[in-house]
A and B are shown apart, each in its own frame.
Chain A
Amino acid sequence: MSATTASLEPARGWTHRFRANPTSWIGVAIIVAVILAAVFASWIWPLDPLEQSVVDRLMGPSPEHPLGTDSYGRDVLARLLHAARISLLIGVLSIALAMAVGSAIGIAAGYLGGWFDAAVTSLLDVLLSFPTLLLGLMVVAMLGPSIENLVIAIAITELAPFARVARAPTISLKSRDFVEAGRALGFSDLRLVVVHIIPNLLSEVVVVASLWLATAIRTEASLSFIGLGVKPPTPTWGGMIREGFENILDAPWLAVAPGVAIMVTVLGLNLLGDGLRDAIDPKVRRD
């Protein structure tokens, strides 16, 4: 995190602008709450999310089971809390992967230019407009559902925004004096990129990451809902909705509870991302 903080220095005062925005605070509060719930799941609600009980099938909310039980008699609250771990894990890992690979592609395209840049740019345009869900769905369908493959699939769907946001500043940075001077001194391209270009990109890339994390979590949930998520019985929000949807007439809470969880989490991330963007991005700050 320290590298990130240091790179944000050019946009002086962004922390102040971020803090002055009440909606960012709501976002921070939601995300912190979700992270705490995920990390301390077993401590907050000590029931086993996998323990089945035939007698307790499809029970409505009660003191023992505040959110009721599912069709296997498992406690929905416990499953909901544990599912937060999987959702956050897949979301964060896929964004980290997309950030690393996507930025590398964008920097390479911007730095090398020429036909390579042209090819990458038009491919990104297609990728960017291709339905995220379908792309993820195709990749998982080909690779088979597992946490690793989900991470890879979601990362692929989110390469384009990172590549785009890294490419444009690279083009303007590479002709700037300090990079030109470095080149004249005989520094290698790799060194120039690492020392001069990457630090200048970081703040924008971080904003993109915070905004797209919401999409990543939504994509994961959608894929799980379609049946391409982490294999049962591991609880995921999308998977819980999928199972709950089969009993929508008798036990609507099974689908509604994880639905609300996804919504609140994504809303929190969107609020946070918006706040960050408004604070950091000079273009939107203008007003």
Chain B
Amino acid sequence: MGEFLLRRVALAVPTLLLAMTAVFVLARVVPGDPALVILGDQASLEALAALRERLGLDRPILQQYLDFLLGILRGDLGRSLVTGKSVWAEVLAVIPYTIELTLAAIVIGVVLGVPLGVYAAVHRNALPDTLTRLFSLAGLSFPAFVSAILLLLAFAIELRWFPVISAPKVDDPLDRLRHLALPAFNIGLIMTAYVTRVTRSSMLNVLGEDYVRTARAKGIGMRAVLWRHALRNALIPVATVVGLYLGTLIGNSVLTEIVFNRPGLGKLILGALNQRDYTLLQGLMVFFAGFIVLANAATDIAYGIIDPRVRYK
């Protein structure tokens, strides 16, 4: 297991390098002149030159690339052009809200999605299965901000069960939960739709496997067959796709944070966009890319825990 862990982490290093290079290319090569983007086309030539110097854009491109990588290696993601604070400081200030939101969504998605998917697979082609499939397809068709607006309208504005603006008092756990509920359910239900769908098809595959028939032949009862034999194997692909889903989850949480006016990475990005805070955007991109690569590695490791064959390969 230790060796497996080490191997997987070592594999993440070149991927990380590639991802960072991609961010660099996107940030420096594609847009032409970042200084122009930041200051707009009315800016004077002097102002542009000064900003270029400040951003290090006057140096040779290879030099810029090395500086960029070395910076990341030291854990330096740059500074915000607007506030002058480090990207890390900006991120750390709001990330607890986003983590809280996404974790709650994942819990909702898995806790509701896995049993629903199993249920649909066991009753395949019967009415509950059809309903579940329709529900999950509808869930997958909602852009997160549309469903967020509908939830906001129904439960915050009409029914007034939840606050309209989701900026909780930090030291009051109950208040926090109340503010968390609607945004978390918004992303959580969309994720439920996804997890249900994936679990269903994975479970259908597994139920056709020989070892499920073997387990049935042992006479240990359908419940034990489902939960002990089938589900564990069915969860292997589910773990992978939930890992892949992380990207969508982050995107959805950004949109949801905007709709519910909730502090978090989403509002940080929106602020950076509106203020043309180019360096903050680039730093956030590096942050996300790094996070995604590491999260993928973590998913693979989870995979190894569920499936012994991966560990011993």
The verdict on B95 contacting chain A, using a C-beta distance below 8 Å, is: no
> Contact at B248–A126, with CB atoms within 8 Å?
no
Q: What are 14 A-B interface contacts by the 8 Å CB criterion?
A: A119-B18, A125-B296, A129-B246, A129-B295, A139-B26, A142-B31, A143-B30, A222-B143, A222-B251, A225-B143, A241-B145, A245-B149, A248-B149, A255-B153
Contact with B along A206-236 (1 / 0, CB 8 A): 0000000010001001100111100000000
How close is A157's CB to chain B, nearest CB, in angstroms? Answer: 10
Residues in A neighbouring B289, C-beta threshold 8 A? 126, 130
> Of B18, B243, B254, B270, which one neighbours A129 at CB under 8 angstroms?
B243
With contacts A129-B244, A133-B254, A259-B146 known, is A138 near B281, CB below 8 A? Answer: yes
The verdict on A128 contacting chain B, using a C-beta distance below 8 Å, is: yes
How close is A29's CB to chain B, nearest CB, in angstroms? Answer: 15
With contacts A133-B254, A134-B251 known, is A270 near B141, CB below 8 A? Answer: yes
The verdict on B226 contacting chain A, using a C-beta distance below 8 Å, is: no
Alpha-carbon separation in the docked complex, A144 to B243 (Å): 31
Interface residues of B (CB under 8 A from A): 14-15, 18-19, 22, 26-27, 30-31, 34, 37, 137-138, 140-146, 149-150, 152-153, 157, 201, 204, 208, 243-244, 246-248, 250-252, 254-255, 258-259, 269-270, 273-274, 281, 285, 288-289, 292-293, 295-296
Residues in A neighbouring B292, C-beta threshold 8 A? 126, 129-131
- 7 closest A-B pairs by beta carbon, nearest first, are A133-B251, A142-B31, A267-B141, A259-B146, A266-B141, A131-B247, A131-B251
> Contact at A248–B27, with CB atoms within 8 Å?
no
- Report the nearest B residue to A214, measured CB to CB: B141
Residues in A neighbouring B142, C-beta threshold 8 A? 263, 266
Alpha-carbon separation in the docked complex, A255 to B52 (Å): 41
> Of A130, A133, A249, which one neighbours B255 at CB under 8 angstroms?
A133
The verdict on A37 contacting chain B, using a C-beta distance below 8 Å, is: no
Residues in B neighbouring A131, C-beta threshold 8 A? 246-248, 250-251, 254, 288, 292
> Contact at A263–B15, with CB atoms within 8 Å?
no
A-B contacts at CB below 8 angstroms, number: 136
Residues in A neighbouring B270, C-beta threshold 8 A? 226
> Contact at B31–A143, with CB atoms within 8 Å?
yes
Residues in B neighbouring A287, C-beta threshold 8 A? 204, 208
For the complex, would chain B's binding face be called helix, strand, loop or mixed by DSSP majority? helix
Alpha-carbon separation in the docked complex, A284 to B201 (Å): 9
How close is B297's CB to chain A, nearest CB, in angstroms? Answer: 11
For the complex, would chain A's binding face be called helix, strand, loop or mixed by DSSP majority? helix
Alpha-carbon separation in the docked complex, A31 to B250 (Å): 29
With contacts A130-B288, A222-B143, A249-B157 known, is A141 near B273, CB below 8 A? Answer: yes
> Contact at B281–A141, with CB atoms within 8 Å?
yes
The verdict on A168 contacting chain B, using a C-beta distance below 8 Å, is: no
8 A Cβ contacts from A176-214 to B: 214
Residues in B neighbouring A144, C-beta threshold 8 A? 37
Residues in A neighbouring B138, C-beta threshold 8 A? 263, 267
How close is A229's CB to chain B, nearest CB, in angstroms? Answer: 12
> Contact at B153–A222, with CB atoms within 8 Å?
no
Residues in A neighbouring B145, C-beta threshold 8 A? 221-222, 225, 241
